[in-house]
Amino acid sequence: MKTFQYFIILMSSILHLNCSGDDVTDDAPDQEVGPPVETNPPNANYSPAFTGQTRIGSVKTETIIQATIVTSALSAPWGITSLPDGRLLITQKGGQLRIATTSGSLSGSITGLPSVNSSGQGGLLGLCIDPQFTANRMIYWVFSENVTGGTLTAVAKGRLSDNETTVENATVIYRASPAANSTAHYGGRILFDSNGNLLISTGERSNISTRPLSQSVTAALGKIVRITTNGQPAPGNPSFSGSNALPELYSIGHRNPQGIALHPITGDLWLSEHGPRGGDEINLVNAGANYGWPTITYGLEYGGQPIGSAIQQQDGLEQPVYYWDPIIAPSGITFYKGNRIPEWENNLFVGALAGEHIDRLVIKNDKVVGEERLLSDENQRFRDITQGTDNALYAITDGGRLYRIDKE
């Protein structure tokens, strides 16, 4: 067990909010801010579109926080969600589904899932449970599937058996076409919206040839798609202009979105997205909007060259609410609900892979107003994070750890 104690830094400058609308989206107390947490030079000398879009001032949690390693016996866990009884359902990249108790006991691998391609960035990815899980025991998950022409991001569902040893009647309900000869950029997160439909993030599969498909309305790559639990386009989806536009599309122009979450107050969809060399993003996702990749970006090619026309703004393309340069490699995200830790209420928590920390973003009126890095001395790649039924945060790492994070 390790205890991490964070105190507010007393600084002379106090953060003031510019409330431009009537919707106050965060009732947590204002906090004093210090210098930005990022001190390394950016990769690109691009100017943000607005003040506070990057390198916002730092905040510190005043409450004494305890971070406990619940177990280190997982194998490359990728997705985590809570069961109604407080236990945690966890995917492992290699294709296994397991249940963990909050005391650290692990089930064996649950059988019945379709095979995954676990090469590269593929495998058994994000998951969620049905809102009526107690009655129907249905679960939904994303995985990388081998098909003719390569691999693709697939969505499946099935019933967790009463004895919790197998998934019954596992069925693939959606495939994000076209397939690509790639084992990268699957996206891979899934959750239910307030209407009982599924929101799924898909990547543009990384290849230079598939990258432009994130802008194509006839391809499901680099998108948020919204479907029913039977895999059909959800009623009320936006209509995109262009012939043969896919009816399941919800938003377009994404690169590799590995985190999605609904704001506890507004119900808005928020998304984390891997950039290339720089340009990791947090986006507030609006139905029918285009988030610009690869036309606009705050990042560079991995070799340092500019991407496309090297522009960061264009009419009709949405700006990220926040971006990082250098990258932190943001993966799974969750909002903190409730006031058990008052200064965390409605804050966004982001698992950082390359950054090896959990990033806390204070959001007010749809703007990031403070940032904190937690558990950075653990030297772990944080893959996903969720809030448990006990209101603690639970985070998984590529190294096989499950953490419980709560006040002491």
Q: Which residues are catalytic?
A: 185
Nearest residue to 188 (alpha-carbon basis) of 231, 234, 141: 141
Task: Centre a 10 Å sphere on the Cβ of residue 65 and count the other Cβ atoms it contains.
Answer: 19
Can you tell me the distance from the alpha carbon of 122 to that of 152, in angstroms, rounded to the nearest whole number? 9
Q: Which residue has the tokens 């359902």?
A: 89
Q: Which is it for the CA torsion 233, 172, 116, 166, positive or negative?
A: positive
Can you tell me the distance from the alpha carbon of 366 to that of 345, in angstroms, rounded to the nearest whole number? 14
Contact predicate 405/395, CB 8 Å: yes
Q: For 165, which DSSP code?
A: S
Phi (first) and psi of residue 282, to 5 degrees: -115, 125
Contact predicate 395/351, CB 8 Å: yes
Q: Which two tokens stand for residue 254?
A: 């994404």
Please report how many Cα atoms fall inside a 13 Å half-sphere around the Cα of residue 5, on the Cβ side: 1
Q: Which two tokens stand for residue 67?
A: 């971070």
Phi (first) and psi of residue 269, to 5 degrees: -90, 125
Can you tell me the distance from the alpha carbon of 293 to that of 296, in angstroms, rounded to the nearest whole number? 6
Which amino acid belongs to residue 195? Answer: N
Partnered with residue 282 across adjacent β-strands are 272, 322
Can you tell me the distance from the alpha carbon of 62 to that of 341, in angstroms, rounded to the nearest whole number? 9
Can you tell me the distance from the alpha carbon of 340 to that of 217, in angstroms, rounded to the nearest whole number? 43
User: In what order do the strands lie in the sheet containing 224-227?
Assistant: 190-192, 198-201, 224-227, 249-251
Q: For 136, which DSSP code?
A: H
